[in-house]
């Protein structure tokens, strides 16, 4: 595909639907990512200012605790609704460090960063008090790096240390895994790294990133991924993308320079196009379990999935 052909391959044009004012985050990203409008464009500015007032988001923001966290002080738990998950969603919705909720939440996350740059949970153990967990998870760590970059902390020294920690944990096979040397790498953790790296030019240009991307391209759309510590979910259109799937992987790979010259990338593009509905939208196959806010009912046309699908297609040259 080329910059001129990605829209020509669509069954119908969903952009007017995505630009409707009822969903300011989708409108904002459609203007910026799909239509390439600059930050000083009046429509972009208007949509950006409307994002914090988007009712589902506004309700989530006021639920933040005084310490900068959501629900409880364990930044990861409860799964899908704790601070880590909330910040992942807020970054995708378009909030930045200009928002006080984001700044407070990120400082809470940074309070869980160890001297080596890793982010690690703390646990209360009998007779030991509050202690660090033995080993951080690279998938969670990579997602933290990603939302920090999205929020505008990419040049922060704490974020740079976090990137270096992640790079130092790449396995000999080019993948990442949670401290289980000798076993297959984790596809999800490696995709999570690539999604973060694609947002940071210095990391995107590294040989470590190119190697990891090449591995994921070779696995793209392949069935029976169980040996890579994930379920076989390439083809499930889920939102928020808390797991892994073809849309987020394809966008990262396209941003890192991969094209339809590779047959797996071409197959992924064909699959994404095959899932478009006659009205130009894409459906939500599955809503992530207990997301921080609602993103629409499954098995219906979905603005968020449609936005992700178009981003993925546009990224592939």
Q: Render pLDDT for 44-88 as a digit per residue (tens, 0 to 9).
A: 999 999 999 999 999 999 999 999 999 998 899 899 999 999 999
* Total count of domains within the chain: 1
pLDDT of residue 3: 43
* pLDDT (mean) for 25-35: 98
Nearest to 315 by CA among 219, 240, 213: 213
Tens digits of per-residue pLDDT, 235-245?
A: 999 999 998 89
| Residue 9 domain flag | no
Question: Up-side HSE of residue 144: CA atoms within 13 Å toward CB?
Answer: 33
pLDDT of residue 301: 98
| Residue 287 domain flag | yes
CATH code of the domain containing 172 = 1.50.10
Print the domain residue range for 184.
Answer: 15-315
231 pLDDT tier (thresholds 50, 70, 90): confident
What is the overall mean pLDDT for the chain? 93
Q: How far apart are CA 233 and CA 244, in angstroms?
A: 7
| Residue 266 domain flag | yes
| Residue 3 domain flag | no
| Residue 23 domain flag | yes
| Residue 20 domain flag | yes
For residue 150, pLDDT over 50 is answered with: yes
**Quick one: residue 177, left, alpha or beta (phi over 0 = left, psi -120 to 50 = alpha)?**
beta
| Residue 1 domain flag | no
| pTM of the predicted structure, to 2 decimals | 0.94
The pair of three-digit structure tokens given for residue 221, joined into one six-digit string: 């759309």
| Residue 8 domain flag | no
For residue 126, pLDDT over 80 is answered with: no
* pLDDT (mean) for 254-263: 96
């Amino acid at each position: 595909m080329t910059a001129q052909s990605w829209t020509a391959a669509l069954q119908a044009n969903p952009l007017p639907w995505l630009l409707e004012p009822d969903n300011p985050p989708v409108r904002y990203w459609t203007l910026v990512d799909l239509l390439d409008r600059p930050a000083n464009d009046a429509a972009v500015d208007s949509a950006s200012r409307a994002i914090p007032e988007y009712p589902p988001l506004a309700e989530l923001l006021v639920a933040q605790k005084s310490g900068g966290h959501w629900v409880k002080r364990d930044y990861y738990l409860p799964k899908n609704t704790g601070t880590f998950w909330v910040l992942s969603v807020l970054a995708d919705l378009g909030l930045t460090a200009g928002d006080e909720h984001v700044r407070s939440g990120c400082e809470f996350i940074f309070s869980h960063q160890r001297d080596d740059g890793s982010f690690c949970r703390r646990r209360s153990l009998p007779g030991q008090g509050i202690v660090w967990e033995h080993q951080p998870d690279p998938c969670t760590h990579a997602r933290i790096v990603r939302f920090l970059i999205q929020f505008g902390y990419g040049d922060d020294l704490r974020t740079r240390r976090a990137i270096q920690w992640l790079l130092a944990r790449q396995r000999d096979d080019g993948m990442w895994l949670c401290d289980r040397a000798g076993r297959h790498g984790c596809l999800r953790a490696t995709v999570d790294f690539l999604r973060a790296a694609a947002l940071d030019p210095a990391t995107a240009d590294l040989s470590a990133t190119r190697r990891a991307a090449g591995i994921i391209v070779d696995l793209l759309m392949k069935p029976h991924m169980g040996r890579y510590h994930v379920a076989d979910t390439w083809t499930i259109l889920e939102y928020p993308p808390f797991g892994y799937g073809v849309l987020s992987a394809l966008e990262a790979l396209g941003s890192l320079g991969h094209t339809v010259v590779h047959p797996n990338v071409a197959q992924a593009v064909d699959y994404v196009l095959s899932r478009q509905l006659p009205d130009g939208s894409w459906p939500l196959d599955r809503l992530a379990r207990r997301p921080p806010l609602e993103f629409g009912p499954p098995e219906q046309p979905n603005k968020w999935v449609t936005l992700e699908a178009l981003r993925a297609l546009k990224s592939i040259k």
